[in-house]
Structure 1
Amino acid sequence: MPYFLIERQFDRQLVPPLDGVAELKLINDDEDVRWVFSFLSIDRTKTYCLYEAQSADAIRAAAARAGVPADAVIELAGRVLPSGELVGTE
């Protein structure tokens, strides 16, 4: 299943632990997307999330249902390791 990087911009600072994570998981399960992990910017107004999904549209649908932004959804071709090796996402 393809991997995607999602950038989200929020109007206010996020303070973990986040409320509603269980509800997000139910929505993601229903849309057949899997949240792998997220990074939070130092100002706590952006997240950079790694997701696994069949399509960018599925990620956007889950975000819309959850009421969270999906400002950029980028499909990834793979990972570049510190050795320089490219590892595909298949």
Structure 2
Amino acid sequence: MKILAIAVSLMLTGAACAADTAPSSATHRYMIERTFPKGALDGLDAQAKQSVNATNAKFGVTWVTSYANADKTKTFCVYEGPSEQAVRDAAVANKIPVDSVTEIPVTLESK
């Protein structure tokens, strides 16, 4: 439930108290929701992350951070890139699933 709260708070936009911490106008921030088979993320080591990041770079996409549920079958990943399509294309090239992509241009601070 905590992961869902974090994801929802990241996706909120337009609040008066929002900090203006959006990426530059050429770069957009996205929340990508993914579903994996149980055990699929168990082999995600430094080398696998490096490979994903290298492929992402070909599309101008940067993996910022990810959150996973307890059994690692659902992830909520924050990415930056030039467009939603670039994020989706990078996922296809990396052979990783995409359930949904939501642009998250506004950061709401907890304090």
TM more than 0.5: yes
* Partner Cα distance (1:82, 1:40) in 2: 21
Q: Percent identity?
A: 31
Q: Report the counterpart of residue 8 of structure 1 in structure 2.
A: 34
* Partner Cα distance (1:16, 1:47) in 2: 15
Q: Over residues 24-62 of structure 1, what are the superposed CA-to-partner deviations in whole Å (9 max), with x where a residue is unaligned?
A: 111101010000010111121011100001111001000
Q: Which has the higher strand share?
A: 1
Count of matched residue pairs: 83
Asked whether the 8 Å contact 2:38–2:71 carries over to 1, the reply is no
Structure 1 vs Structure 2 CA RMSD: 1.4
* Partner Cα distance (2:108, 2:88) in 1: 26
* Partner Cα distance (2:86, 2:96) in 1: 14
Q: Which has the higher helix share?
A: 2
Note the residue ranges of structure 2 that are not aligned, 5 or more in a row.
Answer: 1-26
Q: Report the counterpart of residue 66 of structure 1 in structure 2.
A: 94
Q: 2:80 aligns with which of 44, 52, 56?
A: 52
Q: Report the counterpart of residue 50 of structure 2 in structure 1.
A: 22
Note the residue ranges of structure 1 that are not aligned, 5 or more in a row.
Answer: 84-90
Per the normalisation by structure 1, the TM-score is: 0.83
Per the normalisation by structure 2, the TM-score is: 0.69
The verdict on how the C-alpha distance between 1:16 and 1:37 changes in structure 2, with shifts beyond 3 A counting, is: farther
Q: How far 1:17 sits from its partner (Å)?
A: 4.2
* Partner Cα distance (2:60, 2:103) in 1: 16
